[in-house]
Every structure is written in structure tokens, then in C-alpha cells.
Amino acid sequence: MAMKTISFLSIISFLALTLSLVIASDPSPLQDFCIGVNTPANGGLHNARAVNNAVGSNVTGVNVNNLPGLNTLGISLVRIDYGVNGQNPPHTHPRATEILVVQQGTLFVGFVSSNGDGNRLFTKTLNKGDVFVFPEGLIHFQANVGRSPAVAFAALSSQNPGVVTIANTVFGSNPPINPNVLARAFQLDPKVVIDLQNKF
């Protein structure tokens, strides 16, 4: 009887250990991979992009929307071109952590921790080859602080990370957010809020 109990307990222990190892791994994707047959190429990321907009930067993304082969793989990539004094303004990716590497130039980068962590600002000045990580969902930015154009590449941990540009979202919503709501939130005169809304 004691031998049967020991054997039974050994088998249960082995199964429990095996099951916990299986559960600890990432879930399998819905499919092994997806090849984008007959999908037009997006032009690649080797050429500089024009930065003739108000913020002085251009973000070129490679995600599941323009490269179907990324479907279920959980990654995407962007190239960011910055003019002199250009910036990638404060924004967030609700579905992805981002790792950025500077290919050319000098960038001042940072992110802000969440409200529960005291809204602490983490910043660093990056030069060619330097790397910085922006945690998922946190507001972050990059600004070209060099005397020439800059280029960076970033990988994101989602096939479709999403992007919410803070100023565009708050002041450029359609329809506009009531100026009194924003005036109180930002502690500004409603006329200033209306002026900002007109810019976006």
C-alpha cells in the first residue's frame, strides 16, 4: 500500500511539474506565419523622408497594415526622420513597448512614469548607436538637439502598436472637447484652449 501511494504521488508530482512548465510559456500564435503574397512593397526604410510639417519629423511605420507577414508575430518597426530642431512629440503606444536606436544625429529622449509612480520624468541624450526603451503605454518623446538632421529606428512589441499623439488627441479631437473641460484640466483660460484647438 505504501509503495502504491509513493508511486501515485510521484506520478502526480511529475504531471504537475510538466503542466506548470507548459503553462509558463507564451501562447502559440494563431498561425505559424503569414507570407504577404501579391502585396505591394512599401518602399523600405532606407531612404530619408521629408520633414516639412509643424513638428519637423516624419515617422514611417512597418506594421501588419502594410506588411501582412507580421500577422501574429507581435513586432513592428518604424523609421523616424528629424529635421534640425524637429521632434516626435509626446505620444503613447497603447499596445507596445518601444526600443529606439539612433542611426544618425543627437536626440534628447524621455518618458514619464504613470500617475501612481509620481509622474517621474526619465530622460537621456542619445548619439549614434545609443539605445533607449519606452515602456508600453507611457507618454514619451524624442527631440533632435543636434545641428544636423537625425534618424532613428524603433522596434515595437506589437504587430499594430497604435499611437496616440497627446496634443493632437486633446486639442484636435472631432468634435472638439468642450474648452471649459480642457481649461480646467490644464488650468488655462478657455480662450487659450480655443486658440490651441484652432491650431489642431
Contact 197, 179 (CB under 8 A): yes
* Cα–Cα distances in angstroms (integers) from residue 167 to residues 48, 92, 147, 172, 188, in the given order: 26, 11, 26, 7, 15
Q: What CATH code is assigned to 30-162?
A: 2.60.120.10
Q: Distance between alpha carbon 57 and the CA centroid of its chain, in Å?
A: 16
- pLDDT attached to residue 25: 46
Domain boundaries, the chain: 30-162, 164-200
Three cell numbers, residue 118: 509620481
pLDDT tens, position by position, 17-50: 665 555 544 555 555 566 656 555 555 788 888 9
* Prediction pTM value: 0.79
